[in-house]
Structure formats: structure tokens, C-alpha cells
Structure 1
Amino acid sequence: MNIYPENFEQKLNFDVIREHIVAKCLSPLGEELVFAMSFSSDYETVITNLIQTQEFVEIIHSKADFPTTYFLDMRHTLLGVERDLSTWLSAEEVGDLVNSLETITSIVDFFVLLTTSGVYPELKKLAERIAVFPVILEEGSRLLDKSGHIRDNASRELASIRKRKIEAEKDVARSMQAALRSAHSQGVVTKDVPIDMRGGHFLIPVTASNKRKIKGVVRDSSGSGKTFFIEPEAVVEASYRLRELENDERREIARLLMVFTNLVREELTALLQAYAFMGTIDFIRAKALFAIRIDGTMPLMKNRPHVYWHQAIHPLLDMKLRQENKRAESLGIYLTEEHRILIISGVNAGGKSLCLKTTALLQYMLQCGVLIPVGKNAEGGVFDRLFLDIGDGQSLENSLSTYTSHLTHMRNILSYHDDRSLILIDEFGGGTEPQVGGAIAETLLERFNSKRSFGLITTHFQNLKRYAYQAEGVRNAAMLYDVVGMRPLYRLSIGTAGSSFAFEVARRIGLPEDILLKASDRVGDVDLVLADSPVSTVTEEVQDSVEMLEVDITEEDLTDAMIIENILETPVIRPLKKGDRVRVKGQQIVGVLMQMQGSLGKVAFGELQSNIKLNRLELASD
């Protein structure tokens, strides 16, 4: 099991990625390869696919004159003449074959000629294996003119036939004009009577009473029977000679086409390989064009499970936002041997699921050979297996509840995960009673960690955040949230757990303050921001700096910053308690002390909330 579940692609909208790439293809040859594109866990295959695409991106950026015309799929035609030895290619098929083979030759020359031989090494390897067909091209060009018709001089016999055919056509015209003059002189037809053409015969329309006055063959009559269409006798004889020459011409053309087709039959295997090469080039080119559209690039690849992405962006979201002149927020996502599993927490609708989907989609794209939108100096790796549990997964047909569905996914993941697996779980442990769900989730997390699996897991459970602080190989991460503007920032901060900001959101939507205070008291020792974590919250100054620089900070960075700050200013803890009405010294605005932790207090001033040093606060008089 390399990919789980079966609808992995649909859950991540990878099918939409395919559609965008298909739209860039020039032929069904390339389109087939896009639909056949699949996840590979073989490092060499992944590397080759990525380098080929990156090289083609460079070709496009260089504005080189790369051939893109006549990307024609001739496989069905070639297989047809292979199956039936009595058939031959039509003139149109010969033209398509020659034009597309000229394109293949131009592509091979582009990569193999000395001027570019060292520039695109992986694409050159593809081209060097492909034969070109100078004899077929020469014979095809000798057979057809530029408009795709058989040349008069394709053979001496054909040239002679066509010369005699021109004379025969003139004889038919002369005979017809003579018959018309004779009929007019006899008063059988008027001077301006139109000549009719029916069934390949030149005919004179006459009335029923005059039909016997012209020697010839009656070929047709009107529905009323009042008009008859006669081919004059002299015209019959001239037309017969013309039709004989036309038959001779068709036989000679068929002979020439059969000779050419037999020449093609001798090279069928190599020809089919050449068209497969054309399809591969079309496929790679389409991936390169898509990469340019999403700012995709190739990270520095490692032959091991590894994710070290700066400025990773969800490509489909970014494409949508660009239409509104906006851009998706970039993420710093890091899964290494030292820190294999990220536990991401934060407010609802704050971007946790987006972070998970971005990771899953980009890793899948990468191992499908598609360049991904990440920053400079990003590093990537190869996983043997990807496991995804996202969405409620309810099934009416199978009578599965949300939680049962999650457990089913967990059972399957447990059966196959190892140290080369990437596990992606959204809302880990959710869907059931929190205490039980959290306990099961923590036990599963321990198992994942013991097998040294890699993972990105979103949750609200405090016990999982605590586990991440305590367990080797696991880290907390938070989706940043603007508590002043009450809006998610969609930026990931690694090293500290996030808060669900349940009280802040509740206050924002207007729940009474007394309800919030009583609820806060009932929370008791289960602090909102993990009171027992090494670093649970960030001072005003440090947080402002993080948001201004838009960088990913680590647990160690925050700890060092707070130690330095404590040295510079020894905190004086006032005898304050949760729920006190307080104000900043020297200020008149009164707020409510919602939470205390270390030297900091979280104070709500109406809808605004801020972390403030306790030694800057004082009790407000009633």
C-alpha cells in the first residue's frame, strides 16, 4: 500500500492539477501520459522526472525556437497498416506522417546537436535513443507537394497519365461545345442553355419532344417527365477515354502509396518508439508550462524521507486568489530526522487543514514528477507511502460514522506505516468524547513515533500538545492568529503550540461576559495555552517582531528571547487573579484579566485582547 485511501487524489484535488496540465498538451500523446502520471517511491525515477521538467522550464524561459507544430498521433494509422498488409496509407495520412516525423527530427536535433548537447542532459538522453527516418521523409516529400497532393512527377507513368488526361478533358469540352452548337442550329435548344453535370457526365437538358433529335445517351429526366438530360454521342466516347485515364491514375497512385506504405512497414517498431518520444516531450512540456504558471521549482532532493520547504504555497488556492489580484500565504514546513512529526494546533478556520493539504498535495506532486511552488534552497525527499485522513469520511452505504471512519483509517495506517511513511491526519482524535478520543489519539501518536514515521497532524487536544513538548522527534506548531483584529494570519509558527482562542472568538460574537468568566473558572488548571509547556505564549515584543519579519520561529528561539527579556527586566508578580478588573499603569482604560502565565497576563479590553507584563498592571478601582 503506497497511497491511502483510494480517493487520495480526489481529496486533495490532484485531478484538478491533471486537468490544468492536460490543457497545456499539444496532442493526445501527451494527454495520455498526464492521465497515466502516478506516484513513484523510486528516488531515481522521481529525480529524472523532475530534472526533465526543470530542463524544459529553462527551454521556455530561454525563448529557444523549440518545434511545437504537427504534434500528431499517428499510432492508430501505423498499427492499422501493420494489421492489414493489403491496405495502404492515404495521401492525407502520408502528409500527416511526414509532417510529424519532421517535427520529431527537429526535436531530436534540438537536443543532440552540439549547440545544446550539454545544456539539457536528461532530455538529451531521451532524444539520443530515438531514430530519425530520412528515407521515409525523402520519399514522402517526393510523393507529395506542399499542399499534400500527389505530385505529377511522382513517377514517369503518373506524369504520362496526367498529361493524356488533360488532353482527354479538352476533348470532352470540345465535343460538348460541338454538340451544343449542332443542337442550337437545329433549334433543339436555346443559345444560353446551361450544361448540366450528373453522375460525372456532361449533359444537355432538352424537352421531351426533342429528345430523339440529339444522338446520345439519356442519363436522367425531371420528375415531371418534361425534361430529359442527354449525353451527346461524341461526348460519351471522349468521356469514356477520360474515365479510363482517371482509373489508370488511381491505380498508379495506389501503387505509389503502397510502395511508400511498405517502406513504413519496415520501420514500424522504431516509428512507434518515435511517437512515444513525441508524447513524452509533449507531457514534459505541459508540466513545465504548468510549473511556470504556479512558480513551481525543483527543491534540492534527498534520497530519504525529508521535507524542508520554505515559502510553500498551495498551488490551486494561489491560482484562484490571483484571479482576485491576491496571493496565498506561504508556509514553512519542516519534517526532518530530528523532528519527524508536527502537531499543528490553532483556532478553527485558521489554516490548519490548509497546511495539511498543502503538504500532502505538494509531496504527491513532487513524487509524480511535477515541480512545486516552494522557496529558494528548499529541500525535498522521497517517501515510500503517503497516508491521508481528512474530512469526515461518513458513509451511509457502509453505515460508518465520522469517528468509525477515522478509526478505520487508523487501523489501515497502523498495518502499513514505517520509517519511510508520511502520515497526514486532520483533527486527530476528533469525532467522539474528547477524553477518550484524546487518549486513543495520543496512544496512536506514540505508535507512529516509535516506528519513526513522519507526520503532520492537526488537533485541538491539549494532551497531544503536551506529548509534542515531551517526546523526542515530535514538535508543536501553531497557526498564527491576530487576537486584535480577530482574524487568522494563515502563517505557521513551529516550536510552540497554538490556542483555539475559544474565549476570544466567543467574546467576538457576543456571548455575555459573565458566561465567559464562569466558563474560564471551570476550565481550572486546564490552561488555554498549555501552562506546563516550555514556551506557551509569546511576549508582545517578540510576537510583534515575528509577525513583522514573517519568519518561522522555533521553540528554542522563543525561549532564548524570553530569557534575555527576563534578565533585562525582572518580572514583579502582582497579587492579581483571573477575572480581576485591571488597567495598565498610568492609563484609564479598564479591562478584564482573562489569564495569567508566568510574568504575563492576557487582558481583554472589550473586543481587543493583549498579552501584557503583570508588573505593568494594577487593580482598577470599582
Structure 2
Amino acid sequence: MLYPNTIEQKLGFDKLRDWLRGACISPLGQYYVEKIRFSDNFGMVEKLVSQTAEMQKILSTGENFPSQNYIDATPYLKRAQIEGMLLTQTEFFDLKVSLLTIRMCLRFFESQEPEAFPLLGEYAKTIRVEKAVTDSIDRMIDERGQIRDSASPELSRIRKKLISEQAGIRKKLDTILRSAKSSGWVGDDVSLTVRNGRMVIPVAAEHKRKLRGFIHDESATGQTVFIEPTDVFESNNEIRELEYEERREINRILMELTSYLRPFVPDLQKAYMFLGLMDFLRAKARLAAEMNAISPAFYNRQFIDWRQARHPLLHLSFQKQGKKVVPLNIALDEKQRILIVSGPNAGGKSVSLKTVGLIQYMFQCGLLVPVAEDTSMGFFQNIFIDIGDEQSLDNDLSTYSSHLTNMRHFLTLANKRTLFLIDEFGTGTEPGLGGAIAEAILENLTRSGAYGVINTHYTNLKVLADKTEGLVNGAMRFDGEHLEPLYQLEIGRPGSSFAFEIASKIGLPNAVIDRAKEKLGTQQVSFEKLLKELDIERRVFAEKNIEAGIKERKLAQQLASYTLLKEKLETNEKRIVNEAKLKAKNLISDANQLIENTIREIKENKAEKEKTRTARTGLENFGKQNLKLEEVAAPVAEEEVFEPEVGDITPGSYVRITGQTAVGEVLSIKGKDAEIRIGELKSNVKLNRLEKVSNKTYRVATGEKKVKTAARGIDLNERMLNFSFNLDMRGKRGEEALGLVDQFMDNAIMLGYDELRIVHGKGDGILRTLVRNHLRTYPQVAGMTDEHPDRGGAGVTIVKLK
């Protein structure tokens, strides 16, 4: 159900209907445009939208789908059904080209997979255009819309004879014309022409008596007459008679062709309805392309969950101007069914309201809608709107009376399947009374379970929405600094009307504005002021969040770079150590081999001095070549601390091997052997080779220092997460405030912030002076300024850090 009956005009759907009507090629498509209706049948809406989406897919993929000759031939078919009637050549030509378009559409769907276009493909299967019909018409009508010579033997004979007679008469006339030119009766540039279907010669009026013949006509000036010479009079009569015969034969052929067509008329009428639907769907798909519209997910339940929704008419208008529409994000569900939108005038409330109504209405009319891909559409059986001034002189209705009349319908008919839209709720009467009545109506609508969007300036409705389940506040965002609307809907908080600020910007005297504030009362002024300050605070924190996000990304990049570098260094270290170990292993192996060879050579030569000396020299040269060390500055050795320990060696004792400096710990003793651990190395050593040492010797040898009480660490990550650049110290006393400032500054300096915000309030300025004097003692402070007047002014100090 729709209310009122002018809903299309109020939402602007009539303009979309006009657009579609102009986009259709034929009256058949326009007939479908006129039949567009809002549907409260879920299955029907789903079918209509899916058909449009399939056509949009056909056109967007650039398939070979016909785009011309969508001709409405249904009036011809109605006449053809009447016995004894015949269709003209022109009408048969229209049938020929339009039936060709229908067959091309059908062939297109036949060539596609069934799942590609399920709805249109299935519909196309029900359409029949007999090839015999199109072949019969094609045999009779040529590509110029004329009856072919081969349509009948008699017509062929007549036309051949007609051509022969016309050639003969032209030959005679050419002879007479040349003679007249030589006699000076006609000009040299004159040629044969036709008057009343007969070939004649244009002759100057003063010479008309010199050429025997019949005068058929004269020029507008009377200076030229058109004469049919007597020599060709009979030939012209013959030609006229042949033309009558040709016309009679053509009529006979057309009558015969019409009679042949008559049994197929029902199927052809259905085919033309299919052609009209294709024209209509092409228009809807073209509109969708103009609006970047889609077919979103559709569910048989009541809700709104739209992303990037754009007002269709604004989108079409702005597109021509090269501008973009500010999109709308809106969500209504069972817990938040009714949205109360507030904000300044000219801030976009009415546009948002009409966007909701028009998009839902056009979708349930089978059109695609301009929303984002992740949008979901709900289904409503009723749409009620109260938009605009319905004042009527005929019905003696005032503006407010008309609004109350609409509210009576809403309260009577609204249910869980209803979407209602109310613009400027409660206006038109005394504000106090209007606000009270509007609040009572809203409570009743809430109990009905209906979904809706309401625009209002009434504070009591904003408060009601904040404390009533099923209602939610929304605000049209406004740039309080520049006093300009942003046309963005923000759900979850009420909006300020910015009435005083806009009045000040327009140039209303300050005295008048101040007086208005006094008359309004402190409670309302404070409420509007709080809404404004909350909006400013939200913008400030949004900017800071962006900055924090940028810093966090930079930190993540640096951490990733550090981790990569660390892994690379560790990999290189392992590679170098492995190479050194391998080289040492090879060196030891070569040395052992050389020593064994040297010993064997000495034995074989029975220790001859000369041979022994040569072998030892070779061994020394190997050592010099392979064991030569780089000359480096020797580090200054620390004083060795060795304190022997008296007593038996037991498991847990600290020991060192006699003659060495390495110190280890005894793990176990088995007989005369002890298992000791030196660093990560475990080894079995005879007890008589070990010396017991003191604990101090062990700690020095292993690099351990005297254990101190561990200081409590600082978790920078935790501090960074919990730190806020905004310190609110309103209501604090001097000592307490300075303590908070010190703690705040310490954290900020540690975390590297470059700008801080301290809220101390205005008052008498005592706390402000105290805080700023204290901040000047910090060398890290580069400067201090007041916040922007719209964001707190002298009640907030902005601290710049070096």
C-alpha cells in the first residue's frame, strides 16, 4: 500500500519514468513504462529486478544484441485479423524488419547457456515466429519496402511492358524536345518532366501555340507551361493503364499475403509483446548504466542496510555537471527501526529522506538502484510519506492540518511491514504543542513495529530517541569551523541546528543573537552547545587517529626492516662460523697428515740428522703458512683472579683443570673420574687433574657480576596504547593538576609526541596560568597556544614539543 497517491511526484519517480519513456525506441516499450507499478509481492519484485539485471549484463558485455527496428506492428496485426482487410507495402515492410529483430533476439538467447540468462532465456523459449511467415514476407517485399517483380508472373509481365512503353515514349519525347530546342521554344537547360503521371515538355508560354499537345500545368509565374505532345498521347494512356494494372496486381498480392498471415496473428502478437519487453528492459538497463546502479542482495524481511547510496535524480543531474553526489550510508534493523535525523537547515536532511524513499520505491518497481556492492535490500509492503506542504484551499486544510491528516493514516495503517518517511516532523504549529504531539505520535509509531526515517529540529524528540528502544538518533554532519554542511549522515548521535552560528554568519547583529539566547534559556543553549562541542571533539580525535595510524604504520615498517636485518645478520654469522669451522677442520686434517708423514719419514731414515732437520723444516714452514695470525693490538688483560678452595671435590664444586684457566662445574663423580661442564661443553676428567676454586673465581671466569636487585621495567607498548594526547583536568586543584601535568609530560616526551592538548577550562584563568607557568620549566616545550575558538578557545592549551 502506498500513501499518498502523489507519492511518485513527491519522491521524484515521475522524472525517472519520463527518462525511461524517452529511452524506449518504440511505443511497445513505452507501454511497459506506463505499466510500472510498486509491487508488494516479493517474488514479482525479485523477477522484475533479475530481468533488468540480465539485460544490464547483456548490454555491458557488448554482446551482439539488436538495437534497432523495435517497431510496434500490433495495430497492423489487429487489422490483419479482419477478413477482407489488407496491409500496405509500408506496413509489411515494418513487419519484415521488426520480425527480423525478434528472430535475432531469439537466436541470441538460443546461442547462450541456459544459466547465463535464466529468466529471459526461458521467456524467449515461449515465443514462436514461424520461418514460413518471414520467408513469405521476404519473398514479396524487398529491402526498400517495395513489392518484388518476382512476387507474381503477372506483375513481372506488367512491369516489363511498362518499362518498354516508358522507354519508347521517352525516345519520342527526346526527339520532340531536341526539335523544340533548335526552334528556340524551350531553353537549352530544359529536360523532360512528369505532370499528373504523364511525361511532358516544359515550354515557354509565348511559344505554347507552336507545339501541338495538351497543357497539363503551368509554373507559378505563368512563364512556363507543361505540354503533352499529341504524338505521345496514346503512349501515355497506355502507360497509365499499365500502372493501374500494376496497382491492382499489387493489391491482390498484398491481400493474398495478408490472408496467409492471418492464422499466425496470435503468435505474432505475443512475439511483439516480447519485443516491447526487450525495448523496455534495454531502457531500464541504460538507466542503470547512467546511475552506476546494481542489483543488490534482496531478502524477504524488513530492514535497510545500504552502503554508498546515491540519490538517483541528483546523480543524473550532477553527472552532467561533472560533480559527484555525497553518498548515504544507513542501516535500520529490529533494534533500531526508526531513525531521528537532526541537523541544520540546508544540511541535506530532506535529500537523505527522499534518497531512502526513492531507492526503496524504484527497487520494488523492478529498477536497479545506485548503491555499493555490499548493500542488502529489505522488502516492505507499505510505503507512507509525509513530505512537503499539502496546504489546500479547496479542502480548507492548513499546512499543519494536512500533516495531522497524514499522521492519522500512518497511525491507523502502519505495521511491521511499513516504511514511513516524515520530513520536518511536528512543524506548522506552536513549537511546544507541536513537539508534544509529535512525541506522542512517535511513541505510537514505535509500538507499531514500523520502520521509518524522521527529520526534526525538536530537542524532545532527540532526547526520546536516546532513551527509547527501537529509536536511534542521526545527524547530518556540519563543518562548525566554516559553517558549511557536509551532507553526510552519521547514525548514533543527534545533530545541532547551528541556528545561532548560521545567523551570525549571515550577518544578524550580535545583540539580537545574544538576546535570543537569553530568551531560549540556558538548558536549550547548553544542549546545542554540547552537541556542537561533541562534533568538534569528534573531528579533532578523528584527525589525531589518522596521525596515529600513520605513525603506527611507519613503526610497523621500521620493525619489519629491523627484523629482516637481524635475520640477515644472524644468517651471515652462522655462515661465517660454519665456514671457519670447516676451514679449521681441513687445516687440522692437513696438519695431522703432515705430522704423520714427518714421523714416518724420520723412522724410515732411522733418525738421520740431515733428513730429520729437513722434515722439521717442512713442518715449520707449513705452520708459518697456515697458522700465521694478523697483527692486532693485544687487549689489556684483566688481572686474573684465582682463589683456590680447600676441601674435597664433590658434585656442584667449581673446579679448573690444572695448568689451564677454564673454570667449570662438577656434575657427577664416578670413581676417579669426574664429569664437568665448562660453558656448554661437558667432559670426563681425572680427579687428580682438577683443582677446586672459589665461587668468586667462577663468577669472574664466566663473566658474571654481583647480582643486584632487578629494577622494574617499562612497558612502552602498554604506555603507548593507554596514552592519550588529550588531558582533561577541569575541576582539579593546583597541586593535583601539576602532578597530572608532570605525569602527562613524562609519558608524552618518552613516547615522542610533538603536540599535546590540555583542557583546563576558562573560569577565572587561574588554573590556565598555573599550568602554563609550570610548562615553561620544561626545556622540551617549544611553545603554547590557545585552541581554535570553535574547539574550546582559551579553555584549551595546545602544547608544541621540540
1:382 aligns to 2:361 (yes or no): no
1:325 aligns to 2:322 (yes or no): yes
Q: Higher helix fraction: Structure 1 or Structure 2?
A: 2
After the TM superposition, which residues 186-585 of structure 1 pair with which residues of structure 2 at under 5 Å, given as runs?
197-202=194-199, 218=214, 229=227, 231-232=229-230, 235-511=232-508, 516=513, 519-520=516-517, 523-524=520-521, 526-528=523-525, 538=534, 542-544=538-540, 572-573=730-731, 580=763, 585=768
Question: 2:686 maps to which residue?
Answer: none
Equivalent of 1:134 in 131, 134, 147: 131
Equivalent of 1:89 in 87, 90, 95: 87
Question: 2:106 maps to which residue?
Answer: 108
Question: 2:685 maps to which residue?
Answer: none
What amino acid is aligned across from residue 70 of structure 1 in structure 2?
A: N
What SS is found at the alignment partner of 1:481? strand
Query: Displacement, 1:441?
Result: 0.7
Alpha-carbon distance between aligned partners in 2 of 1:128 and 1:293, rounded to the nearest angstrom: 30
What SS is found at the alignment partner of 2:245? helix
Alpha-carbon distance between aligned partners in 2 of 1:522 and 1:184, rounded to the nearest angstrom: 105
Q: Deviations over 1:512-567 (max 9, x none)?
A: 55665565455456345759x9x9974756434558999xxxxxxxxxxxxx9999
Query: Is the Cα–Cα contact under 8 Å of residues 384 and 421 in structure 2 kept in the other structure?
Result: yes
Q: Deviations over 1:428-484 (max 9, x none)?
A: 111111111111111111111111111100111122112212222111111111111
What amino acid is aligned across from residue 35 of structure 1 in structure 2?
A: E
| Structure 1 unmatched runs, 5+ | 551-563, 590-602, 618-622
Q: Deviations over 1:378-409 (max 9, x none)?
A: 11122111111112222233332211111111
What amino acid is aligned across from residue 294 of structure 1 in structure 2?
A: M
Alpha-carbon distance between aligned partners in 2 of 1:314 and 1:549, rounded to the nearest angstrom: 31
Cα RMSD after superposing both structures:
4.0
Alpha-carbon distance between aligned partners in 2 of 1:227 and 1:104, rounded to the nearest angstrom: 52
Query: Displacement, 1:573?
Result: 2.9
Query: Is the Cα–Cα contact under 8 Å of residues 101 and 133 in structure 1 kept in the other structure?
Result: no
Are the structure 2 counterparts of residues 444 and 160 from structure 1 closer, same or farther at C-alpha, using a change threshold of 3 Å? same
Alpha-carbon distance between aligned partners in 2 of 1:374 and 1:385, rounded to the nearest angstrom: 22
Alpha-carbon distance between aligned partners in 1 of 2:18 and 2:209, rounded to the nearest angstrom: 68
Query: Displacement, 1:198?
Result: 3.7
What amino acid is aligned across from residue 346 of structure 2 in structure 1?
A: A
Alpha-carbon distance between aligned partners in 2 of 1:191 and 1:538, rounded to the nearest angstrom: 96
Question: 2:60 maps to which residue?
Answer: 61
Alpha-carbon distance between aligned partners in 2 of 1:496 and 1:340, rounded to the nearest angstrom: 15
Query: Displacement, 1:302?
Result: 1.0
Query: Displacement, 1:509?
Result: 3.8
Are the structure 2 counterparts of residues 175 and 367 from structure 1 closer, same or farther at C-alpha, using a change threshold of 3 Å? same
Query: Is the Cα–Cα contact under 8 Å of residues 761 and 768 in structure 2 kept in the other structure?
Result: no
Query: Is the Cα–Cα contact under 8 Å of residues 460 and 500 in structure 1 kept in the other structure?
Result: yes
What amino acid is aligned across from residue 85 of structure 1 in structure 2?
A: E
Question: 2:699 maps to which residue?
Answer: none
Query: Displacement, 1:572?
Result: 4.3
Query: Is the Cα–Cα contact under 8 Å of residues 206 and 230 in structure 1 kept in the other structure?
Result: no
Equivalent of 2:791 in 595, 600, 610: 610
Are the structure 2 counterparts of residues 226 and 75 from structure 1 closer, same or farther at C-alpha, using a change threshold of 3 Å? closer
Q: Deviations over 1:178-207 (max 9, x none)?
A: 87899999x998998976744333457799
What amino acid is aligned across from residue 301 of structure 2 in structure 1?
A: R
What amino acid is aligned across from residue 790 of structure 2 in structure 1?
A: Q
Query: Is the Cα–Cα contact under 8 Å of residues 46 and 369 in structure 1 kept in the other structure?
Result: yes
Query: Displacement, 1:309?
Result: 0.5
Alpha-carbon distance between aligned partners in 2 of 1:405 and 1:484, rounded to the nearest angstrom: 38
1:18 aligns to 2:17 (yes or no): yes
Alpha-carbon distance between aligned partners in 2 of 1:273 and 1:458, rounded to the nearest angstrom: 48
Q: Deviations over 1:287-325 (max 9, x none)?
A: 111111111112211112221111111122233333443
Determine which structure has more spread, i.e. the larger CA radius of gyration.
Answer: 2
What SS is found at the alignment partner of 2:425? coil
Alpha-carbon distance between aligned partners in 1 of 2:515 and 2:211, rounded to the nearest angstrom: 119
Are the structure 2 counterparts of residues 393 and 194 from structure 1 closer, same or farther at C-alpha, using a change threshold of 3 Å? closer
Q: Deviations over 1:335-356 (max 9, x none)?
A: 2222111011111221111111
Alpha-carbon distance between aligned partners in 1 of 2:337 and 2:39, rounded to the nearest angstrom: 21
Q: Aligned pairs, how many?
A: 581
Query: Is the Cα–Cα contact under 8 Å of residues 215 and 225 in structure 2 kept in the other structure?
Result: no
What SS is found at the alignment partner of 1:440? helix
Q: Deviations over 1:59-106 (max 9, x none)?
A: 222111211111111122222333x43331222221111111010111
Alpha-carbon distance between aligned partners in 2 of 1:310 and 1:352, rounded to the nearest angstrom: 17
Query: Is the Cα–Cα contact under 8 Å of residues 787 and 794 in structure 2 kept in the other structure?
Result: no
Alpha-carbon distance between aligned partners in 1 of 2:346 and 2:108, rounded to the nearest angstrom: 50
Query: Displacement, 1:615?
Result: 8.4
Q: Deviations over 1:43-74 (max 9, x none)?
A: 11111111111122222221112111111111
Alpha-carbon distance between aligned partners in 2 of 1:587 and 1:103, rounded to the nearest angstrom: 87
1:166 aligns to 2:163 (yes or no): yes
What amino acid is aligned across from residue 458 of structure 2 in structure 1?
A: F
The farther-off stretch of 576-585 and 154-163 is 576-585
Query: Is the Cα–Cα contact under 8 Å of residues 762 and 795 in structure 2 kept in the other structure?
Result: no
Are the structure 2 counterparts of residues 549 and 529 from structure 1 closer, same or farther at C-alpha, using a change threshold of 3 Å? farther
Are the structure 2 counterparts of residues 197 and 514 from structure 1 closer, same or farther at C-alpha, using a change threshold of 3 Å? closer
Query: Displacement, 1:365?
Result: 1.1
Are the structure 2 counterparts of residues 574 and 170 from structure 1 closer, same or farther at C-alpha, using a change threshold of 3 Å? same
Question: 1:99 maps to which residue?
Answer: 97
The farther-off stretch of 190-199 and 293-302 is 190-199
Alpha-carbon distance between aligned partners in 1 of 2:371 and 2:238, rounded to the nearest angstrom: 75
Query: Is the Cα–Cα contact under 8 Å of residues 730 and 761 in structure 2 kept in the other structure?
Result: no
Alpha-carbon distance between aligned partners in 2 of 1:519 and 1:177, rounded to the nearest angstrom: 101
Query: Displacement, 1:366?
Result: 1.0
Alpha-carbon distance between aligned partners in 1 of 2:398 and 2:197, rounded to the nearest angstrom: 75
Are the structure 2 counterparts of residues 261 and 588 from structure 1 closer, same or farther at C-alpha, using a change threshold of 3 Å? farther
Q: Deviations over 1:400-431 (max 9, x none)?
A: 22111111111222232211111100111111
Q: Deviations over 1:117-139 (max 9, x none)?
A: 32121221221221123112111
What amino acid is aligned across from residue 61 of structure 1 in structure 2?
A: S
Query: Is the Cα–Cα contact under 8 Å of residues 380 and 418 in structure 2 kept in the other structure?
Result: yes
Are the structure 2 counterparts of residues 211 and 24 from structure 1 closer, same or farther at C-alpha, using a change threshold of 3 Å? closer
1:123 aligns to 2:120 (yes or no): yes
What amino acid is aligned across from residue 451 of structure 2 in structure 1?
A: F
Are the structure 2 counterparts of residues 88 and 546 from structure 1 closer, same or farther at C-alpha, using a change threshold of 3 Å? farther
Query: Is the Cα–Cα contact under 8 Å of residues 760 and 796 in structure 2 kept in the other structure?
Result: no
Are the structure 2 counterparts of residues 196 and 530 from structure 1 closer, same or farther at C-alpha, using a change threshold of 3 Å? closer
Question: 1:6 maps to which residue?
Answer: 5
Query: Displacement, 1:212?
Result: 11
Query: Is the Cα–Cα contact under 8 Å of residues 304 and 376 in structure 2 kept in the other structure?
Result: yes
Normalised TM-score (structure 2): 0.65
| Structure 2 unmatched runs, 5+ | 547-721, 734-758, 773-785
